[in-house]
Amino acid sequence: MSSEATAGAHAGDHGDGHGDGHGHHGPKWLAHHFDTPAQQFDAAKLGMWVFLAQELLFFSGLFVAYGVYRSWYPEMFKAASHQLDKIMGGTNTIVLLFSSFTAAMAVRSSQLGKQKETGRYLLVTILCAFGFLVIKYFEYQHKFEAGLLPSRYFHPHMDHLVAGSAPLPANTGTFFGIYFMMTGVHGVHVIVGIGVLIWIYLRNQRGDFSKEFFTPVDIAALYWHLVDLVWIYLFPLLYLV
């Protein structure tokens, strides 16, 4: 009985407040099927977190494959990881960490309604993302030249290997199969992130966001943090074994 009473009270509130949900009943950014801005924000946030959980599980398959092969061929992993460029990887880690920071600052300034500042932070984030890809490009190029490719195409050229490196054991191609899959899938996420951030940047310049409505900036930054987070795991696992 008590729950019915509560529901009745709730019903009263609803009647007084926003009974009309069908027409145009709020700010223009409030979608037709939501009753309140808070409901819209909460739904978006929850949806994004659930999506991010999905992303983690998507990467988890790669991490499991990594774990399995690392436990089977520890020497091979050790030798192969020396062929990766720690300087470039480290630089990329810093670039991504910094871009995550600027993404967070973009959310902050958007919450405060500082449109110009938001735009600048978003721009820096996008530039960092491009910077990441450029560095990645040089890394990949070196691997291609050295013949350090997935198993079927794995033909290392001794003169291109890192000086003083130990001879590469059998199955080293598997390491590079995993390397290219992990960094490749992550790279696709970076590219998607660039697209999302550019879209958010354009919307910000158009004046879509305000102190009251900054959900898309928030959501996009969450995604970007995930991209950063995955790299923070990839870097030590692949480069610093």
Partner 1 sequence: MAAITTTPGAHHDAEDPNASFLEKKGLMSWLVTLDHKRIGIMYLISVMIAFALGGIFALLVRAELLTQGKTLMDADTYNKMFSLHGVVMVFLFIIPSIPAAMGNIILPIQLGAKDVAFPRLNLLSLYIYWFGACFGLYSMINGGVDTGWTFYTPYSSSDPALGGVGSSTSVIPMTLAAFIMGFSSILTGVNFIATVHKMRAPGLTWRRLTLFTWALYSTSIIQVLATPVLAITLLLLTMERFLGLGIFDPRLGGDPVLFQHFFWFYSHPAVYIMIVPGMGVVSDIIATFSRREPVGYMAIAASSLGLALLGFLVWGHHLFVAGMSEYATMVFSALTFLVAIPSGVKVFNWVATLYKGSISLQSPMLWALSFIFLFTIGGLTGLFLGMLAVDVHLHDTYFVVAHFHYVMVGGTVMGFVGGLHYWWPKFTGKMYDEAPAKAGWFFVFVGFNITFIAQFIMGSRGMPRRYYDYLPEYEIFHQISTVGSWVLGFGFVIILYVLVKSLMSGKPAPRNPWGSAALEFQTPTPPPTFNFVKDPVLTRGQYDYQLATEDELYEGFDDPLFPGIRGGKPAAKPAAAAEGEKE
Cα within 13 Å of Cα(53), Cβ side = 6
Alpha helices for 17-114 (secondary structure H): 37-72, 74-81, 86-111
Kindly state the smallest distance separating residue 9's Cβ from partner 1, in Å.
9
Residues 100, 228: contact at Cβ < 8 Å?
Answer: yes
- Positions in 147-166 near partner 1 (CB under 8 A): 149-154
Cα 132 to the center of its chain, rounded Å: 13
Cα 197 to the center of its chain, rounded Å: 11
58 is a site residue for partner 1 (CB under 8 A):
yes
Which residue stretch of 10-18, 130-138, 194-202, 231-239 sits at the interface with partner 1 (rule: CB under 8 A)?
A: 10-18
Which listed residue (29, 69, 98, 233) binds partner 1 by CB under 8 A?
A: 69
Residues 80, 172: contact at Cβ < 8 Å?
Answer: yes
- Positions in 32-51 near partner 1 (CB under 8 A): 32-33, 35, 39, 42-44, 46-47, 50-51
Name the residue with tokens 């943090």: 225
Tokens for 149? 């490719």
Which listed residue (62, 106, 126, 146) binds partner 1 by CB under 8 A?
A: 62
231 is a site residue for partner 1 (CB under 8 A):
no
Tokens for 110? 């958007």
User: Which residue lies nearer to partner 1 by CB, 119 or 156?
Assistant: 156
CA distance 220 to 223: 5
Kindly state the smallest distance separating residue 16's Cβ from partner 1, in Å.
9
Kindly state the smallest distance separating residue 56's Cβ from partner 1, in Å.
8
CA distance 234 to 241: 11
125 CB-near residues (< 8 Å, 6+ apart): 99, 102, 103, 106, 197, 224
81 is a site residue for partner 1 (CB under 8 A):
no
Residues that bind partner 1 (CB under 8 A): 3-4, 7-8, 10-11, 13-15, 19-24, 31-33, 35, 39, 42-44, 46-47, 50-51, 53-55, 57-62, 64-65, 68-69, 149-154, 170-171, 173-174, 177-178, 180-181, 185
